[in-house]
Structure 1
């Protein structure tokens, strides 16, 4: 996710604001410490204009 966020030119704070999730959620997910809910994943894929399957394909 960090790579895709950086490609869009968004800071962690900008991404969090755009997705409507907290900065701490973004940090937690990017550091591997968090377990995002389906709602959070839905917000993330909307920012990246991806499907959930596309986001998770390399995991």
Structure 2
């Protein structure tokens, strides 16, 4: 898998697993929301500094953004649009 697509796959997987919106991730990481969308589509090539900010916001080691998917692993789901209900 091409490295940009690998990062895109893992970024979306980790974000969805945590139930974090693109907006919230962008705010926490200090990047533009649209940029998170570009990264998740593999349309941009992020710097290592940006990857570090995103990994920190996701509370994972940066290496998790480069994990190869397991054979047969399903593409990460899409979160429902809109705001999450407050607890």
TM-score between the two structures when normalised by the length of structure 2: 0.60
> Greater CA radius of gyration, 1 or 2?
2
Aligned residues: 59
2:17 to 7, 28, 45: 7
- Encode CA deviations 1:2-38: one digit per residue, 9 max, x unaligned: 1211111111111110111111210110011010011
1:52 corresponds to: 62
TM-score between the two structures when normalised by the length of structure 1: 0.84
1:23 corresponds to: 33
Q: Which has the higher contact order (CA 8 A, sep 6+)?
A: 2
More moved, 14-23 vs 49-58: 49-58
Gaps of 5+ in 2: 1-10, 70-87
Gaps of 5+ in 1: none
**C-alpha distance in structure 2 between counterparts of 1:26 and 1:51, whole Å:** 18
**C-alpha distance in structure 1 between counterparts of 2:21 and 2:58, whole Å:** 14
More moved, 13-22 vs 48-57: 48-57
